[in-house]
Amino acid sequence: MKQIGSISRFAALFSVFALVSSTSTFAAESGKAEITSLKGGVTIDGQAAKVGDSIAPGQVVVTSPDAELKLFLGDNGPTIVMFERSTVAFSELNTDKTGAEPIISTQFELKSGKVAGFVKKTSAQSKYLVKTSKGTASFRGTQTYEIDLNGKVSIWEGKAVMTLISGAAFEVVAGQTFDPGIGAVVANTQRISANVRTTVDFTKKTPAETVTAIVPTPTRPDPLPSDTKGLPKAG
Protein backbone atom coordinates (compact mmCIF):
# COMPACT_ATOMS: atom_id res chain seq x y z
CA MET A 1 0.00 0.00 0.00
CA LYS A 2 2.86 2.37 0.79
CA GLN A 3 4.37 1.72 -2.59
CA ILE A 4 1.06 2.48 -4.34
CA GLY A 5 0.70 5.68 -2.31
CA SER A 6 4.19 6.78 -3.36
CA ILE A 7 3.40 6.14 -6.98
CA SER A 8 0.15 8.10 -6.66
CA ARG A 9 1.94 11.06 -5.08
CA PHE A 10 4.60 10.94 -7.79
CA ALA A 11 1.94 10.85 -10.49
CA ALA A 12 0.19 13.86 -8.94
CA LEU A 13 3.43 15.84 -8.74
CA PHE A 14 4.26 14.94 -12.34
CA SER A 15 0.79 16.12 -13.46
CA VAL A 16 1.26 19.48 -11.70
CA PHE A 17 4.71 19.88 -13.27
CA ALA A 18 3.32 19.09 -16.72
CA LEU A 19 0.49 21.59 -16.23
CA VAL A 20 2.89 24.36 -15.16
CA SER A 21 5.19 23.59 -18.06
CA SER A 22 2.38 23.66 -20.60
CA THR A 23 1.05 26.93 -19.15
CA SER A 24 4.51 28.53 -19.36
CA THR A 25 4.90 27.36 -22.91
CA PHE A 26 1.51 28.75 -23.87
CA ALA A 27 2.13 32.08 -22.12
CA ALA A 28 4.56 33.45 -24.69
CA GLU A 29 4.04 32.58 -28.34
CA SER A 30 6.88 33.42 -30.69
CA GLY A 31 5.89 35.21 -33.88
CA LYS A 32 7.58 35.83 -37.22
CA ALA A 33 8.07 38.50 -39.87
CA GLU A 34 6.73 37.54 -43.30
CA ILE A 35 7.96 39.09 -46.55
CA THR A 36 4.95 40.52 -48.41
CA SER A 37 6.78 42.44 -51.13
CA LEU A 38 10.35 43.06 -52.20
CA LYS A 39 12.42 44.75 -54.85
CA GLY A 40 16.07 43.96 -55.51
CA GLY A 41 18.33 41.58 -53.65
CA VAL A 42 17.37 40.45 -50.14
CA THR A 43 18.94 37.72 -47.99
CA ILE A 44 17.97 35.91 -44.80
CA ASP A 45 21.01 34.53 -42.97
CA GLY A 46 22.93 34.83 -46.24
CA GLN A 47 20.38 32.97 -48.37
CA ALA A 48 18.35 34.64 -51.15
CA ALA A 49 14.86 35.56 -49.95
CA LYS A 50 11.53 35.73 -51.78
CA VAL A 51 7.96 36.85 -51.14
CA GLY A 52 6.32 34.52 -48.62
CA ASP A 53 9.52 33.74 -46.69
CA SER A 54 9.51 34.28 -42.93
CA ILE A 55 12.12 35.66 -40.55
CA ALA A 56 12.17 34.30 -37.00
CA PRO A 57 13.90 35.71 -33.91
CA GLY A 58 17.63 35.06 -34.17
CA GLN A 59 17.73 35.52 -37.94
CA VAL A 60 19.24 38.44 -39.88
CA VAL A 61 17.76 40.03 -43.02
CA VAL A 62 19.81 42.23 -45.38
CA THR A 63 18.80 44.42 -48.32
CA SER A 64 21.22 45.18 -51.17
CA PRO A 65 21.71 48.56 -52.93
CA ASP A 66 18.46 49.75 -54.59
CA ALA A 67 16.47 47.08 -52.71
CA GLU A 68 13.36 47.56 -50.58
CA LEU A 69 11.51 45.05 -48.45
CA LYS A 70 8.12 45.03 -46.73
CA LEU A 71 7.47 42.79 -43.73
CA PHE A 72 4.23 41.78 -42.01
CA LEU A 73 4.66 41.08 -38.27
CA GLY A 74 1.05 40.43 -37.27
CA ASP A 75 0.50 41.36 -33.61
CA ASN A 76 4.12 42.50 -33.37
CA GLY A 77 3.67 45.31 -35.88
CA PRO A 78 2.03 44.99 -38.22
CA THR A 79 4.37 46.63 -40.78
CA ILE A 80 8.08 47.26 -41.25
CA VAL A 81 9.72 48.56 -44.43
CA MET A 82 13.47 48.04 -44.86
CA PHE A 83 15.22 50.38 -47.28
CA GLU A 84 18.37 49.72 -49.31
CA ARG A 85 21.66 48.70 -47.64
CA SER A 86 19.88 47.85 -44.40
CA THR A 87 20.45 45.03 -41.94
CA VAL A 88 17.99 43.95 -39.24
CA ALA A 89 18.44 41.26 -36.61
CA PHE A 90 15.23 40.23 -34.84
CA SER A 91 15.64 39.18 -31.21
CA GLU A 92 12.07 39.09 -29.87
CA LEU A 93 8.64 38.67 -31.47
CA ASN A 94 6.50 37.42 -28.59
CA THR A 95 2.78 37.52 -27.79
CA ASP A 96 1.31 36.64 -24.39
CA LYS A 97 -2.50 36.44 -24.44
CA THR A 98 -3.03 34.76 -21.07
CA GLY A 99 -3.88 37.96 -19.18
CA ALA A 100 -6.68 40.51 -19.37
CA GLU A 101 -4.78 42.29 -22.16
CA PRO A 102 -2.26 40.80 -24.61
CA ILE A 103 1.38 41.63 -23.88
CA ILE A 104 3.25 42.15 -27.14
CA SER A 105 7.06 42.16 -27.07
CA THR A 106 8.90 43.27 -30.20
CA GLN A 107 12.62 43.93 -30.37
CA PHE A 108 15.17 44.11 -33.16
CA GLU A 109 18.57 45.64 -33.87
CA LEU A 110 19.17 47.90 -36.84
CA LYS A 111 22.75 47.09 -37.81
CA SER A 112 22.88 49.25 -40.95
CA GLY A 113 20.67 51.49 -43.09
CA LYS A 114 17.17 52.55 -42.03
CA VAL A 115 13.66 51.20 -41.58
CA ALA A 116 10.16 52.63 -41.29
CA GLY A 117 7.16 51.09 -39.65
CA PHE A 118 3.58 51.24 -38.49
CA VAL A 119 2.86 50.01 -34.96
CA LYS A 120 -0.69 49.53 -33.73
CA LYS A 121 -1.69 50.43 -30.18
CA THR A 122 -0.89 47.75 -27.59
CA SER A 123 -1.27 47.30 -23.83
CA ALA A 124 0.74 49.36 -21.34
CA GLN A 125 2.87 46.31 -20.51
CA SER A 126 3.84 45.74 -24.13
CA LYS A 127 7.11 46.93 -25.63
CA TYR A 128 8.47 47.76 -29.08
CA LEU A 129 12.20 48.45 -29.08
CA VAL A 130 14.65 49.24 -31.89
CA LYS A 131 18.35 49.17 -31.05
CA THR A 132 20.77 51.32 -33.07
CA SER A 133 24.48 52.14 -32.86
CA LYS A 134 23.71 55.25 -30.76
CA GLY A 135 21.00 53.92 -28.46
CA THR A 136 17.54 52.36 -28.27
CA ALA A 137 14.19 53.76 -29.37
CA SER A 138 11.04 52.74 -27.52
CA PHE A 139 7.71 53.16 -29.33
CA ARG A 140 4.33 53.29 -27.59
CA GLY A 141 0.76 53.43 -28.87
CA THR A 142 -0.19 53.86 -32.51
CA GLN A 143 3.03 54.74 -34.29
CA THR A 144 4.28 55.68 -37.72
CA TYR A 145 8.02 56.09 -37.60
CA GLU A 146 11.35 56.01 -39.42
CA ILE A 147 14.71 55.30 -37.77
CA ASP A 148 18.26 54.93 -39.05
CA LEU A 149 21.48 53.35 -37.78
CA ASN A 150 22.68 56.60 -36.18
CA GLY A 151 19.54 56.91 -34.09
CA LYS A 152 17.72 59.54 -36.13
CA VAL A 153 14.02 59.05 -35.30
CA SER A 154 11.15 60.69 -37.19
CA ILE A 155 7.55 60.40 -36.00
CA TRP A 156 4.31 60.97 -37.97
CA GLU A 157 1.91 59.41 -35.47
CA GLY A 158 2.29 58.64 -31.76
CA LYS A 159 5.48 59.21 -29.82
CA ALA A 160 8.82 57.56 -29.03
CA VAL A 161 11.61 57.87 -26.52
CA MET A 162 15.17 57.69 -27.84
CA THR A 163 17.60 56.70 -25.08
CA LEU A 164 21.24 57.20 -26.03
CA ILE A 165 24.09 55.00 -24.84
CA SER A 166 25.13 57.91 -22.59
CA GLY A 167 21.81 57.61 -20.78
CA ALA A 168 20.30 60.84 -22.13
CA ALA A 169 16.68 60.38 -23.24
CA PHE A 170 14.64 62.41 -25.75
CA GLU A 171 10.87 62.25 -26.28
CA VAL A 172 9.83 62.55 -29.93
CA VAL A 173 6.16 63.16 -30.78
CA ALA A 174 4.18 63.39 -34.04
CA GLY A 175 5.67 66.00 -36.35
CA GLN A 176 9.12 65.82 -34.75
CA THR A 177 12.52 64.27 -35.47
CA PHE A 178 15.34 63.47 -33.08
CA ASP A 179 18.56 64.58 -34.78
CA PRO A 180 21.55 62.76 -33.22
CA GLY A 181 23.95 65.09 -35.04
CA ILE A 182 22.96 67.98 -32.80
CA GLY A 183 21.47 65.94 -29.96
CA ALA A 184 18.10 67.68 -30.13
CA VAL A 185 14.49 67.27 -31.25
CA VAL A 186 13.56 69.30 -34.35
CA ALA A 187 10.62 69.61 -36.75
CA ASN A 188 9.97 66.58 -38.95
CA THR A 189 10.09 67.83 -42.56
CA GLN A 190 10.40 64.41 -44.21
CA ARG A 191 7.79 62.61 -46.27
CA ILE A 192 6.75 59.20 -45.11
CA SER A 193 7.38 56.26 -47.44
CA ALA A 194 4.26 55.36 -49.42
CA ASN A 195 4.96 51.74 -48.52
CA VAL A 196 4.31 52.20 -44.80
CA ARG A 197 0.75 51.42 -43.71
CA THR A 198 -0.76 54.13 -41.51
CA THR A 199 -4.13 55.26 -40.20
CA VAL A 200 -3.63 58.60 -41.93
CA ASP A 201 -2.71 59.17 -45.59
CA PHE A 202 0.41 61.36 -45.55
CA THR A 203 1.69 60.40 -48.99
CA LYS A 204 -0.03 63.18 -50.93
CA LYS A 205 0.55 65.95 -48.41
CA THR A 206 3.37 68.34 -47.69
CA PRO A 207 4.44 69.13 -44.10
CA ALA A 208 2.64 72.50 -44.30
CA GLU A 209 -0.71 71.00 -45.30
CA THR A 210 -3.39 69.80 -42.94
CA VAL A 211 -3.85 66.04 -42.93
CA THR A 212 -7.48 64.97 -43.07
CA ALA A 213 -7.68 61.89 -45.31
CA ILE A 214 -8.23 58.66 -43.40
CA VAL A 215 -7.41 55.25 -44.85
CA PRO A 216 -8.31 51.87 -43.32
CA THR A 217 -5.70 49.73 -41.60
CA PRO A 218 -6.04 46.13 -42.84
CA THR A 219 -5.24 43.08 -40.78
CA ARG A 220 -2.69 42.16 -43.42
CA PRO A 221 -0.75 44.12 -46.09
CA ASP A 222 -2.37 44.11 -49.51
CA PRO A 223 0.51 43.55 -52.04
CA LEU A 224 0.19 40.25 -53.88
CA PRO A 225 3.24 37.98 -54.31
CA SER A 226 3.39 39.00 -57.99
CA ASP A 227 3.30 42.70 -57.11
CA THR A 228 7.04 43.36 -56.77
CA LYS A 229 7.33 46.26 -59.22
CA GLY A 230 6.76 49.94 -58.97
CA LEU A 231 7.59 50.30 -55.28
CA PRO A 232 8.68 53.86 -54.45
CA LYS A 233 12.22 54.55 -53.35
CA ALA A 234 12.90 55.93 -49.90
CA GLY A 235 13.13 59.71 -49.72
Q: What is the pLDDT of residue 66?
A: 93
H helix or E strand, kind and range, residue 32: none
State which fold the 31-187 domain adopts: Jelly Rolls (2.60.120)
* CA 154 – CA 174 distance, rounded (Å): 8
Mean predicted confidence (pLDDT) in 207-211: 34
- Tell me: the pLDDT tens digits for 58-99? 999 999 999 999 999 998 888 999 999 999 999 999 989 888
**Contact present, 96 and 27 (Cβ < 8 Å):** yes
Asked if residue 226 has pLDDT above 50, the reply is: no
* CA 229 – CA 85 distance, rounded (Å): 19
Asked if residue 137 has pLDDT above 90, the reply is: yes
Asked if residue 161 has pLDDT above 90, the reply is: yes
pLDDT tier, 232 (very low <50, low <70, confident <90, very high otherwise): very low
Count CA atoms closer than 13 A to 91's CA, side-chain side.
10
* CA 155 – CA 163 distance, rounded (Å): 15
- Tell me: the pLDDT tens digits for 22-40? 444 456 788 899 999 999 9
Separation in Å, CA 118 to CA 49, 112, 140, 169: 22, 20, 11, 22
Q: What is the pLDDT of residue 194?
A: 67
Q: What is the pLDDT of residue 206?
A: 34
Q: What is the pLDDT of residue 107?
A: 96
* CA 124 – CA 145 distance, rounded (Å): 19
pLDDT tier, 230 (very low <50, low <70, confident <90, very high otherwise): very low
